[in-house]
Amino acid sequence: MGFEKRIYNFSAGPSMLPLEVLKKVQDEMLNYGGSGMSVMEMSHRSKAYGGIIGDAEASLRRLMGIPDGYKVLFLQGGATLQFAMIPLNLMRGSGKADYIVTGSWAEKAAKEGKKFGDAVVVASSADKNFTYIPRLSKEDFRQDADYVHITLNNTIYGSKYPYIPDTGDVPLVCDWSSGILSEEIDVSRFGLIYAGAQKNIAPAGLTIVIIREDLIGKAPASAPTYMDYSVHAANGSMYNTPPAFTVYVAGEVFKHLLAGGGVAAQEKRNRAKAERLYSYIDGSRLYSAPVERESRSLMNVVFVTGDEALDKKFVAQAREEGLADLNGHRSIGGMRASIYNAMPDEGIDALIAFMKKFEVEAGR
């Protein structure tokens, strides 16, 4: 099948990858860099693979400005395994952790935390169906907590923190699965940042953990070996077989971003894409976006018509026109356009054109 048959994929994840990267991976599929084999077939202990994973880490460090004193780990188990690894490794002082619940993933993280100790939900936006981000300051957190956990971009409800909470000396832990590399963040504000790769970076199978070194080495002796950050840190993410092919694709995406001007340039493109879509929604008679303006996600644009049957019709009709997976998450319905880094401007044009046509046909 040719590239001309590709459609615009608005899935929340796994999601679109840059076409240039897919083509390069295709070119290198059978014979990577003269090695005579595919990266899929390559020993992770080989010199060639050492270069791949080393370059991937170096590129990510450059892209995010990751300071010395932080380790980058390439792990498996998804963001979901981090919901458990974080409390297992970090809830080791007072045994307390504070969670802010701003959506389904944050809720799951908090629930998992409670299995390990005194995890408390200090704030939640459930009262307004997660359409806003609570404003918190230092006094709202227990100052003897081992960490505060936030979900910076809420993939399902389409919201994002418009600020980074000040937690004082308590390490801030952040699920950045659906926002990583979409906009600049100051890594030094965080104790730990984690992200599944399948939203904004690569195929599924890779979880990136960026962790301040003083938070490594606290896991109890009873911790399963794989779940101890110090094991992965001491072994350069090679304690066991890493998700080798996914790390390679991630590295190619990182290079692609660097060539395009880095995260600052990508953020500019993302803001322009999201602004166009939100301003069309805000100006239309048919559609509305439920999330409060200053907390709107740049990556996951949630909108509704207010009529469930019409929403369903929208999603089905859009699919026929090559605009895939615009349905909202199965838990909330409506529509969601996930417009990650790899969604081109033309995808936004096509979506808005379809929305206009649908609005006219709906008689609004």
Ligand X SMILES: *Cc1c(COP(=O)(O)O)cnc(C)c1O
- The residue within the footprint of ligand X, chosen from 13, 165, 290, 347 (CB under 6 A), is 13
Q: Are 203 and 249 in contact (CB under 8 A)?
A: yes
Alpha-carbon separation of residue 161 from 19, 123, 130, 168, 297 (angstroms) = 30, 13, 12, 18, 8
* C-beta of 44 vs 329, nearer to ligand X: 329
- Asked if 159 interacts with ligand X (CB under 6 A), we say no
Mark whether 175 is an active-site residue: yes
Mark whether 144 is an active-site residue: no
What DSSP designation does 309 have?
H
In angstroms, the CA 327 to CA 217 distance is 42
* C-beta of 300 vs 305, nearer to ligand X: 300
The single residue of 71, 160, 199, 273 carrying the catalytic annotation is 199
- Asked if 35 interacts with ligand X (CB under 6 A), we say no
- Asked if 182 interacts with ligand X (CB under 6 A), we say no
Show the tokens assigned to 192: 């730990």
- Asked if 175 interacts with ligand X (CB under 6 A), we say yes
- Asked if 105 interacts with ligand X (CB under 6 A), we say yes
- The residue within the footprint of ligand X, chosen from 199, 232, 296, 336 (CB under 6 A), is 199
- The residue within the footprint of ligand X, chosen from 80, 124, 230, 317 (CB under 6 A), is 80
Nearest Cα to 140, choosing from 119, 123, 124, 128?
123
- Asked if 338 interacts with ligand X (CB under 6 A), we say no
* C-beta of 42 vs 185, nearer to ligand X: 185
Q: How far is the CB of 297 from ligand X (least distance, A)?
A: 10
* C-beta of 155 vs 305, nearer to ligand X: 155
When computed from its CA atoms, the radius of gyration of the chain, rounded to whole angstroms, is 21
Q: CB under 6 A: which stretch of 49-57, 173-181, 305-313, 314-322 binds ligand X?
A: 173-181
Number of helical (H) and strand (E) elements in the chain, helices listed first:
9, 13
Residue 99, classified by CB atoms within 10 Å of its CB into exposed (0-12), middle (13-18) or buried (19+), is buried
- Asked if 99 interacts with ligand X (CB under 6 A), we say no
- The residue within the footprint of ligand X, chosen from 53, 60, 79, 231 (CB under 6 A), is 79
In angstroms, the CA 358 to CA 286 distance is 9
One-letter amino acid identity for 102? T
* C-beta of 42 vs 180, nearer to ligand X: 180
Count of residues in contact with ligand X, rule CB under 6 A: 12
- Asked if 325 interacts with ligand X (CB under 6 A), we say no
**DSSP E strands, the chain:** 8-9, 70-75, 96-101, 118-124, 147-151, 153-154, 159-160, 172-175, 192-196, 207-212, 300-303, 323-324, 335-338
The single residue of 105, 176, 273, 311 carrying the catalytic annotation is 105
Q: How far is the CB of 24 from ligand X (least distance, A)?
A: 25
- Asked if 78 interacts with ligand X (CB under 6 A), we say yes
- Asked if 125 interacts with ligand X (CB under 6 A), we say no
Q: In the beta sheet, which residues pair with residue 174? A: 150, 193
Mark whether 228 is an active-site residue: no
Q: Are 25 and 351 in contact (CB under 8 A)?
A: no
Q: CB under 6 A: which stretch of 134-142, 170-178, 271-279, 331-339 binds ligand X?
A: 170-178
* C-beta of 78 vs 236, nearer to ligand X: 78
- The residue within the footprint of ligand X, chosen from 9, 131, 155, 297 (CB under 6 A), is 155
Q: Tell me the residue nearest to ligand X as measured from the CB.
A: 78
- The residue within the footprint of ligand X, chosen from 15, 89, 125, 151 (CB under 6 A), is 151
In angstroms, the CA 37 to CA 288 distance is 51
Nearest Cα to 342, choosing from 15, 11, 23, 1?
15
Burial 170-190, CB ≥16 within 10 A → b, else e: bbbbbbbbbbbbbbebebeeb
| Residues tagged active-site | 105, 175, 199
Residue ranges binding ligand X (CB under 6 A) = 13, 78-80, 105, 151, 155, 175, 177-178, 196, 199
